[in-house]
Structure 1
Amino acid sequence: MTGQDPRTAPDAPDAAVSDPAAQRAAEHLATLVRIPTVSSRDASQVDPAVFDRFVATLAALYPRTHDALTLERVAGHGLLFRWAGTGGADGERSPVVLMAHYDVVPVDGLPQPVDDPTADAPGWSDPPFGGVVRDGVVHGRGTLDDKGSLVVVLEAVEALLADGYRPPRDVYLSFGHNEETAGDAAQAAVDVLRARGVTPWFVLDEGGAVVTGAMPGVSAPTAVVGIAEKGVLDVSVVATAEGGHASTPVPGGAPARLARALTRIDRYRFPARVSPPVLALLQSLAGHTTGFTRHVFKNAGTLGPVVARVLASRGAETNALVRTTVAITQLEGSPGANVLAATARATLNVRVATGDSVEQTLWRLRKVVRDPGVSLSIVSSTEPSPVSPARGPQWDLLGAALGASYPDAVLVPYLQLGASDSRRFCAIAEHVYRFSPFDMTPAQRASVHGVDEHVTVAALGRGVTFYAALLRAVPDSATAAPEA
């Protein structure tokens, strides 16, 4: 939740992890990292055979799960497992859903599809798809986002099946294959459940983590659980002008107009505010701070504008908590070095804060550009998600699992900055949460979608403990009905 501090020391994992469950999870994760399931919106850059191999490998690594649970394929390579509970019809209608995805983002410097998983890539200490396990750490693309979560879920299910455990209500495992491209696997799973009249009692997907030093004045490790996530808006910005030969340029052509528009957008800051999820975060942390910080966090509801300005000034992550943000991600101009561009394009990736809307955000961007020769249009969009309650039996279930795996961590709600497949489930479930049960340093958080992505073996072991405890603590439908 804070930007990476350059003074942060390198990770110091336990190099002699002896927990058999952790070691087994690490070995299985390394095996799956070596299968380069890179997704893309361009079908020519995706090899379906690689995804077939991943699915087949899962069946080999987790035989009990595949024998005891019913598996449906959705949207091609999406996987939807059903673990029938003991609660009868009520348990069938209000299940638990545990989510993860197994596709990963591309690695700069490697082709798509990846033709050699052992290949090195610029900036990486180890091959991104090498699945190297060294000194208590598993290295590679997807270790944190999100094959690590998938592995610890399945390790927990395998262990519980070996013990003869059966949950009191149905449990679904929803594993997507195209989350990184905002694909259709999660929506297909939602459609299947909706058609069956299923209203999930509890949904948990990737998201927050156990972090230290995430907020000013808080020294205790905090388990930040997303109770909402920001919306996502991709905007195409297009400037047009007369083309021609570059030997006779005209001032103010399409690239110049586009550059002027992008400069205005880059300099603009959306209003900062303390939204309900951020207020819940601050008030939850108030009891773990002292002095002036405690006073500010406790009274963040009335001190909202001041608190928002302070958070906005402390770094990229805390700034993103309190406002809609814009990133300029793609540029396109002339097709040739000696050709005046008749059209210049850019793509904006906008993360829409809770309380804002896609329509309001696009209107504000157009006002900022204020150029009739530059058009802004929506490429794709999702609104900010609803806010799930940070109380009640579902929240208590998270607390029980956290107590078993990270007993010193403080459970707190927060606003998730990135998008996840869980937003699709908000259409059929009220209690949707986002948490990856791993302790992460700033360097690890920076490695997601970056270089040298890695997870410690010890964290994998705690992740298995988290999910096993969560599944054992699932109440039956009679003692914990969904809140109205």
Structure 2
Amino acid sequence: MTRDDSRNEAALSRLRELIRIRTVSPLDSAAPDWSPFEAFADTLERLYPAIHRVLDREVVAGHTLLYRWAGREPGPASVLMAHYDVVPATDEGWTHPPFAAEVTGSGADRVLWGRGTLDNKGSATTILEAAESAAAAGFTPQYDLYLLFGHDEETAGTGAEAVVALLQERGVTVGFVLDEGGAVVDRLFPTVDVPIAVVGVSEKGTTSFTLTVEQQGGHASTPPRLTATARLARAIVRLTDRPFRARMNDVTERMIASVGAHGRHPLKFVFTNVRVFRPLLVAVFLRMSDETAAIVRTTVAVTQLSAGLAANALAERAQAVLNVRIAIGSTVGETRRHLERAIADPLVRVEIVSANDPAPVSLMEGPVWNLLAESITAAYPTAVVTPYVQTGATDSRQFSRVSRTVYRFSPFEMSADERGTLHAKNERMHVQTFFTGIRFYDGLIARL
């Protein structure tokens, strides 16, 4: 076994140990169990001694871990971030138990199964592995470097928000920020055969709405023409029948042109003349996949439904929760007006539960972008690096108000099937891409 092989296998063993710690985001705020989060922090101290010897660690907002790596000189600080909380999972329906961290296959086909492999302990561990090696070798970054591991990204994101407030209070100027997000993907566009490294330069706004109907109840044997539940169902159908308008934005146009340049004619001609063929490309994106459709429009998903208390009684209150991802160029207010117009029923009350407008678009050129692109190319030489609009929310949105260079990229190759396991059953990653992710952060940290 070579030295690199030995390092890789040791890193894999550490990731498996961290996945086995059930840091599930507490949903019961009245009595949360934080013991797994405390165990995770203690385990990091044992697994990564050089980091804890060289860097200063503090705990923010209860369980978010913030490490400061003092730089050689004053300048804008960089932040490498990930989160270590995970969404819930039971053994039901999983090929391998979600917290067993089992490895199957051999050689390049080895796969690590478990909740958090992709979202987001895999990224957290690659940062830790690279930082541990650099710290042990005596490396010092040019400017301060912070490692941030959030504890509640999957719920409220209060940890990252508190860190931003803390750094502002201390007068820290934040420059480069890198969080989870895009990845190295294949077959993103027709006729484009090279892998694509998509880097999120913005993210859609994440807002929760409720639709509520309240009306007279009664015995289920004599229902009115339109019950509360039927009225709510009609509202949901109307929303489905009136989707938000699809449109291009500058980020998506740049992505299409840069990726499309590696395609084959005649589509290459279309992709590289995106402004001429904008209406056609919008239509193509809407039909190509759910992922591409989400890039060009605001999306609405009904995620929770609640109604009556008894099988033979009319519901006096029926409610739906909408998870809305707002496209860049739009706002929470504009989104609410569309919902109300589409539903067209004054008896269906539309209310905002939590609101976030889309994140500002970060710089897509310049020295910081180039530094990131070079680091990606060093790890994935055949990949085309391109900006894109991220559809999922991350803790990095908290930094968008203090930095123009906030990026979202997970340094892993992910197939469409693997991306489909995020927040779902059978989350997994190829072991080899985890090793490549460590090399990515090795190179990135060396450039900071």
Sort the TM-score into its range (normalised by shorter chain).
Answer: over 0.9
Task: Give the TM-score of the pair, scaled to structure 2.
Answer: 0.96
Deviation at 1:20, TM superposition (A): 2.6
Partner of residue 157 from structure 1, selected from 131, 137, 146: 131
Corresponding position of 1:69: 55
**Equivalent in the alignment of 2:8:** 22
Structure 2: runs of 5+ lacking an equivalent:
none
Q: How far 1:44 sits from its partner (Å)?
A: 4.6
Report if aligned partners of 1:38, 1:46 keep a CA contact under 8 Å in 2: no
Q: CA deviation at 1:85?
A: 0.8
Q: Are 1:457 and 2:443 an aligned pair? A: no
Paired with 1:137 and 1:289, the residues of 2 have a C-alpha distance of 30
* 1:350 shift after superposition: 0.6
Matches within 5 A, 1:362-373: 362-373=336-347
Q: Which residue of 1 aligns with 2:382?
A: 408
Q: Write the mapping of 1:47-446 to structure 2, written as runs, cut at 5 A.
A: 47-87=33-73, 90-91=74-75, 94-107=76-89, 110=90, 121-135=91-105, 136-446=110-420
Contact 2:377 2:385 in 1 (8 A): no
In terms of mean alpha carbon deviation, does 277-286 or 436-445 score higher? 277-286
Change (3 A) 1:197 1:259: same
> Relative to structure 1, is the Cα distance of residues 170 and 357 closer, same or farther in structure 2, using a 3 angstrom cutoff?
same
* Alpha-carbon shift at residue 45 of structure 1 (Å): 6.4
Deviation at 1:298? 1.6
Q: Give the aligned residue type for 2:181.
A: G
Distance (Å, rounded) in 2 between the aligned partners of 1:44 and 1:408:
50
CA contact (8 A) 2:59 2:66 kept: yes
Distance 1:45 1:125 in 2: 31
Counterpart code for 2:12: A
Partner of 1:116: none
Deviations 1:75-126 (A, max 9, x none): 1000110000101xx23xx11100100000011xx3xxxxxxxxxx121011
Q: What's the CA shift for 1:441?
A: 0.9
When the two chains are superposed, the root-mean-square deviation of aligned CA atoms in Å is: 1.5
Q: For residues 305 and 24 of structure 1, what CA distance do their matches in structure 2 show?
A: 51
CA distance in 1, matches of 2:70, 2:263: 44
Report the AA paired with residue 365 of structure 1: L
Which stretch of structure 1 is more off in the superposition, 158-167 or 351-360? 158-167
Partner of 1:7: none
Which deviations, in whole Å up to 9, do the C-alpha atoms of 1:312-354 show, x marking residues without a partner? Answer: 0111111001100100110001011111111100001010001
Q: Which moved further from structure 2: 225-234 or 129-138?
A: 129-138
Distance in 2, Cα, partners of 1:273 & 1:45: 44
Counterpart Cα distance in 2 of 1:20 and 1:443: 30
Supply the distance in 2 between the matched residues of 1:50 and 1:166 (Cα, whole angstroms). Answer: 32
CA offset at residue 432 of structure 1? 0.3
One-letter amino acid matched to 1:282: I
Q: Does the 8 A contact of 1:86 with 1:167 survive in 2?
A: yes
d(CA) in 1 for partners of 2:104, 2:138: 34
Cα deviation for residue 306 of structure 1 reads 1.8
Output the amino acid matched with 2:261: G
Letter in 1 for 2:345: D
CA–CA distance in 1 between the matches of 2:373 and 2:327? 27
Q: Output the amino acid matched with 2:80.
A: L
Q: Percent identity, please.
A: 45
C-alpha distance in 1, partners of 2:28/2:225? 36
CA contact (8 A) 1:258 1:345 kept: yes
Shift, 1:52, TM fit: 0.6
Distance 1:103 1:268 in 2: 36
- Tell me which amino acid in the other structure corresponds to 2:293: N
Q: Render the CA deviation track for 1:46-71: whole Å, top value 9, x for unaligned.
A: 31111111110111111110111011
Unpaired runs of 5+ residues, structure 1, are 1-15, 111-120, 475-484
Amino acid at match of 1:398: L
SS in 1 for 2:387: strand
Give the partner amino acid of 1:102. Answer: Y
Q: Which runs of 4+ in 1 moved over 6 A?
A: none
What are the Cα deviations for residues 159-210 of structure 1, in whole angstroms up to 9, with x where unaligned?
A: 1112211111110011100000033000011011111222211000000001
Give the Cα separation in 2 of the matches to 1:238 and 1:276.
36
| One-letter amino acid of the counterpart of residue 316, structure 1 | D
- Answer yes or no: is 1:36 the counterpart of 2:22: yes
Give per-residue Cα distances to partners, 1:187-242, cap 9 Å, x unaligned: 01101111122221100000000111011221101111001100011110001210
Partner amino acid for 1:96? S
For residues 207 and 345 of structure 1, the distance between their equivalents in structure 2, rounded to whole angstroms, comes to: 32
- Code of the residue aligned with 2:300 in structure 1: it is V
